[in-house]
A and B are shown apart, each in its own frame.
Chain A
C-alpha cells in the first residue's frame, strides 16, 4: 500500500512538467513550495500561472476523478458480487451525464448541476437494478445487460438535450461531457468536489469490513450479523455520489471504474478493506497518467474519455483472459 502511495506521488510530480508548455521540475517544486509557505519562488509569472492555475487544478482533478471512479467501481463490484459492473456499465455515468446536461441546458449553477447528476445517477442505478431483479434474479450477465440498456437510454436522453441546446454556448459544454476531459476544470469547483469525494470515501471506508463479508455471500453476511440494508444503502449511495461528482467534474470517463478495481484486486486481493485504498491510489495515478497523455501526446488536446476507452478496452480483454479461471 505504501508502494502504491509512493507511486502516486511520483506520478503526480512527473506530471507537472508535462504539457504544451514545458516547465522544469525544479521550477514546479519551487512554485508549489512557495504556494504553501508563502515565500518567493523566483520563477517567471507565466511559469507560476501554468503550474498553479493550470496544472495544479488539473492534476488534483485527475486525482479526485480517478480515485472516485475507481472507488465507486470497487464498491459496485463488491456489493453486487459482480466483477463485470462499473459506474459506466451500470448506466450511472450516463444517468449522471444526463443530469449534468439537463443542468447545463437550464444554465443552473454548479452545485445544482452536481445535484442533478447525483439524482439521475441514482435513478439510472435504480432502473438497472430493478430491471435486473425482475428479469435476472441475481444473474451477473443480466445486471450487465440491464446496465447497458439503461446506459443507452440515458445516452439517448443526452442526445435530446444536445439537440435542444443552443449551438453557440450550451452545445459545446454538453458535448464536452460526452467525451470527458479535465481541461476546463476550475479551482472553485474542485474544493466542493474534493469535500464530497472525501466524505464518500470515508463512508465507504467505515463499512469496509461489512462490504468484504457481503462480497463473499449475501445470506452468509446476514447470518454473520451484517446489516445488509444499511451497508447496501451506504455503498450504493456513496458510489453513486462519487460517480456523479466525477462526472460533473470531468464528464463521462469510462473504464477507470472497471479496470482499476481489477488491477487492485490482483495486487491486494478481494477484501474491501485493502481493495478500497489500493483502488483509490491506483485510480488516481492511472487518471493522472492518462491525462498527461491527453495534454501532451499531440498539439491538440485529446478527450480523456476517448483515451481511457482506447487504453481500457483492450486491457480489460487481457484481464478477462488472465483471471477467467478464478471467476468460473
Chain B
C-alpha cells in the first residue's frame, strides 16, 4: 500500500516480459491510468498489446516490474481479491457448451461467493438487472452461441459489471463487430467510465481512441511509443511510422455538430507525398 491518498486505478512500473521463444516481449513499460479514465491501447499486430493486457490481468507474470491496482501490488493479491479489483472482457468468441447469457453474467459473482457455494437467486436477479441495463435482458435465457457478436460482447461486459471490479480490461471489444454493434459496445463502455469504472481496452481503430478515450497508449515492438491525450499521441507522423502505412489524422466538420469530429484515414495517393500535404479532410 502506498500512502498516497488516491493512488491511480492502475499503475505499471518498469514492466518487462520475456518469452522463451523471443516473441511476446515487453520492455520498460510504465503506465499510470487514473480512475474513470478510458485508456485505449494501440499498436500493430505483435506490438505486445495482448501481452500487456495479460500482465495487467495477472494472467501472465512479468519477468520484471510491478502492476498496482488502486495502490495494491497485483502479484501479492490472492486470485479472489484480484478478481474484485479488475475484470476481464475477452474477445467475443463462442463457448464450447451452450451456456445461456444469464449463466455467463452470473459467473461475475464468482469472486464474491463463499467457498463451495453456487450463486443464489439474488445473484441471478443482480445479473439479470445488469443484462437489462445493457439492453440485452431479453436474451437472458438464450444460449450465447446463438447471439450475434455485438450481443455476446454486451453479455461479457455484463459479467464484468456483475463482478463489481473497478477496473475493466477489454481485449478488442469491437473485433469482428459491424459499425452499429461496435458503436453500441463502445457507447456502453463510455457510460461505464462515466459511472466510475476505469477502462483499459485494445483496439485496431485509432478512431475509437480519438472518439472514446481519455488516454491513448501507443505500443510498438514491445515498447511504449507514446502515452497521453489521444489527440496528442495519435498524430499522422506517429501512426504512419508505427503502422508502416501512410495515414492522416484530421477532423471532419459534420453538419449540426458544434465540434469537428477527429478521424484517422489512410492516405491512398502516392506514398511519396507526406500526410501533411495530402490531407483532404481538415
Query: Hey, which bits of chain A sit against chain B, CB under 8 A?
Result: 78, 81-83, 140, 206, 208-210, 212-213, 215-217, 219-227, 265, 269-271, 273, 323, 325-327
The chain B residue with its CB closest to the CB of A326 is B98
Of A78, A216, A273, the residue contacting B104 (CB under 8 A) is A216
Chain B residues, Cβ within 8 Å of A222: 58-59, 79
- Minimum CB–CB distance from A262 to chain B (whole Å) comes to 11
Q: Interface residues of A: mostly helix, strand, loop or mixed?
A: helix
Least distance between B28 CB and chain A CB atoms (Å): 25
Q: A212-B107, A269-B100, A326-B143 are in contact. List 10 more A-B contacts (CB 8 A).
A: A215-B96, A219-B59, A221-B110, A222-B58, A223-B59, A223-B88, A225-B84, A225-B111, A265-B97, A271-B99
Among B40-48, B113-121, B266-274, the one that faces the other chain is B113-121
The yes or no answer to B87 lying at the interface (CB within 8 A) is yes
What's the Cα separation between A235 and B98 when bound, in Å?
21
Q: Are B95 and A223 in contact (CB under 8 A)?
A: no
User: Chain A's nearest CB lies how many Å from the CB of B102?
Assistant: 10
- CB-CB under 8 A for A216 and B83, given A209-B113, A223-B57, A224-B163: no
In angstroms, Cα B117 to Cα A209, docked, is 7
Chain A residue, CB-CB nearest to B100 = A269
Which B residues are CB-close (under 8 A) to A140? 96
> What's the tally of chain B residues with a CB closer than 8 Å to chain A?
34
The reply to whether A326 and B145 contact each other, CB–CB distance below 8 Å, is yes
> Contact at A224–B103, with CB atoms within 8 Å?
no
Number of residue pairs across A and B with beta carbons under 8 Å? 91
Check B90 for interface membership: any CB of A closer than 8 A: yes
Per-residue A-contact encoding for B43-84, CB less than 8 Å = 1, 0 else:
000000000000001110000000000000000000111111
B86 at the A/B interface (Cβ < 8 Å)? Answer: yes
Q: With the chains together, A226 CA to B58 CA distance in Å? A: 13
With A and B bound together, what is the CA distance between A83 and B98 in angstroms?
11
Query: How would you classify the secondary structure of chain B's contact residues: helix, strand, loop or mixed?
Result: mixed
Tell me if B230 counts as interface (CB < 8 A to partner A): no
Whether B97 contacts A224 by the Cβ 8 Å rule is no
Contact (A224, B108) CB under 8 Å given A83-B96, A269-B100, A326-B98: yes
Q: Return B61 CB to nearest CB of chain A, in Å.
A: 12
Kindly state the separation between the CA atoms of A219 and B50 in the bound complex, as whole angstroms. 13
- In the bound complex, how far is the Cα of B96 from the Cα of A82, in angstroms? 7
User: Lowest 8 CB-CB distances: which A-B pairs, in order?
Assistant: A225-B83, A270-B97, A225-B111, A223-B88, A225-B80, A224-B110, A81-B96, A326-B98
Shortest A232–chain B CB gap in Å is: 14
> What string of 1s and 0s marks CB contacts (under 8 Å) between B158-174 and chain A?
01000100000000000
A209-B110 contact in complex given A222-B79, A223-B86, C-beta closer than 8 Å: yes
- Alpha-carbon distance between A219 and B98 when the two chains are bound, in angstroms: 18
